[in-house]
Structure 1
Amino acid sequence: MTILAMDTSNNPLGVALINDNQVIGEYITNLKKNHSVRIMPAIQTLMDDCEKSPADLTKIVVAKGPGSYTGVRIGVTIAKTLAWSLKIPLVGISSLEVLAAGAARYFEGYVSPIVDARRGQVYTGLYRFENGRLTAVEPDQLVMAADWAPKLANMDQPVLFVGNDVILHRSTFEERMGAKGVFANATEQNPRPSELAWLGKDMPGDDLHAFVPNYIRLAEAEANWLEKQGKI
């Protein structure tokens, strides 16, 4: 079983290949560059380096959001196209869950992945690793960082914040949580595409035609248009 995972949902771009229970290749960058131009060459390079062909793939796993509207759409579109053309299953995984997975396994407490949503808002959720698996304690959501922090301050264990955007809201969490807020190191901030592959490894495929990104909120342009039409 050879699984290709891809994540273009935020600034980090990642692709990975796992074969049964082994990570055989992984590629990550954290650059503000056009994912639509870079994702296919990244996949091709990884496949070539790992001496794999499209015919070897048995499943595609993609980070389905939330995150950058354009980034999420790029990843989901390419993943659906590959899965459809190769006639293999497609599994979508929360981009926040992927971010949490890299740290939760080694942290005694909760993990809150953070993706900036501007105007003081964050995409986040609450996860913990228990009984050998990552579980969601609070669902993925869009919330004001200033409202999220006091809620976490009441949890029974420390909360680890992870993600490249944590720095934008760190002072808010520090002021409202004190020592209960813990912050991941720089090496833990990027979502790992191998973790993405692992999360989707044993999951059944989604309905390919019904599969859509999880933006959590409308794109800003769409929201502005609806507001002008008096529909929201």
Structure 2
Amino acid sequence: MTETKQLPILAFDTSTAAMSAAIRQGHETLGEIHSLAERNHSVHIIVHLKHLMEQCGVSGEGLGAIAVGNGPGSYTGMRIAVAAAKTLAWVWKKPLIGISSLEALAYGSIHQTNEAQALAGVHWVLPIMDARRGQVYTAGFAMTADGEWSRFADDGVRLMKDWVDTIAELLAGEAGHDPAVISICGDLTLHEAEALRLKQLCAEAGIAADVRLQPYELEGIWVAELGQQRLSAGQFDDTHTFTPNYTQLTEAEVKLKEKLAEQAKRTEEIKE
């Protein structure tokens, strides 16, 4: 494993409208791309990865591992990235490492301005991705002043309103152990009002945490960084059984479930 840790890692994510990819070796980023494809990632992903590897002078055989964001996020986007990662890992016989797209989003946002190094206290990070109907894909992470990274809430799909209330309740129970900063990061376009409501709730409750709204798009370098950490710890996934993190029924499945329920209801009415 010592030898593998020093080899470059190819990392990518297509859980959102953007495709983000990077090749990282140790603490050096050899190259990265960020491409908006309007969720048409299947047409471009292999071409983009091939060009990135050529630019970095890296071959498939020369990689140490492949790290991929496995969601949650766009149903189709997740499947495309995971399918590509599994195929490449199998062809090149490389370890496959799945990374939470939400964790990569949170981890990248906290490093964006190097605030972690100057923070005097704990920093909470709440990444969000829109999941429609007032819902968001979200989770909770924390970083201490000395850079210790941890998770305190699992990936899931939640109503943004309920999530804000949950965080406010959690803060109220901290009693003297409030985080110094709370960052709500990601695509805030549809959820800015609720994010600002958390700021208001904290002020009304006398909670001193500085609530910040941080628009941010996921970057491949942080998928790679988290992948390196997992690889160094000897943690990787089974290439054949690895699947995306589906946190809810797809819209098609929801409609099918509603249709079947309606058919069952009509059948019962006919019987009566």
One fold, TM greater than 0.5? yes
Q: Does the 8 Å contact 1:124/1:140 carry over to 2?
A: yes
Equivalence for 2:151: 136
State how 1:1-232 maps to structure 2 within 5 Å: 1-105=7-111, 106-107=115-116, 108=119, 109-130=123-144, 132-154=147-169, 155=171, 156-157=178-179, 158-164=181-187, 166-178=188-200, 180-184=210-214, 186=215, 189-203=216-230, 204-230=235-261
Three-state SS of the structure 2 residue aligned to 1:75 is: helix
Amino acid at match of 1:18: R
Q: Compute the TM-score of the two structures, normalised by the length of structure 2.
A: 0.78
Three-state SS of the structure 2 residue aligned to 1:117 is: strand
Deviations 1:59-87 (A, max 9, x none): 00000000000000000000000001111
Three-state SS of the structure 1 residue aligned to 2:229 is: coil
Question: Equivalents in 2 of 1:33, 1:211: separation in Å?
Answer: 22
Question: Equivalents in 2 of 1:96, 1:195: separation in Å?
Answer: 11
Question: Equivalents in 2 of 1:102, 1:45: separation in Å?
Answer: 24
Q: Does the 8 Å contact 2:9/2:23 carry over to 1?
A: yes
Q: Does the 8 Å contact 2:24/2:221 carry over to 1?
A: yes
Question: Equivalents in 1 of 2:49, 2:23: separation in Å?
Answer: 9
Three-state SS of the structure 2 residue aligned to 1:181 is: strand
Q: Does the 8 Å contact 1:152/1:159 carry over to 2?
A: no
Residues paired across the two proteins, number: 227
Question: Equivalents in 2 of 1:41, 1:133: separation in Å?
Answer: 37
Question: Equivalents in 2 of 1:215, 1:92: separation in Å?
Answer: 13
Identity %: 38
Amino acid at match of 2:84: I
- Report the RMSD for the aligned CA atoms in angstroms: 1.8
- Structure 1 residues without counterparts, runs of 5 or longer: none
Q: Compute the TM-score of the two structures, normalised by the length of structure 1.
A: 0.91
Question: Equivalents in 2 of 1:68, 1:209: separation in Å?
Answer: 22
Deviations 1:19-70 (A, max 9, x none): 2331111111245251111111111111111111111112000000000000
- Structure 2 residues without counterparts, runs of 5 or longer: 1-6, 172-177, 204-209, 265-272
Equivalence for 2:207: none
Amino acid at match of 1:135: S
State the 4+ residue runs in structure 1 displaced beyond 6 angstroms: none
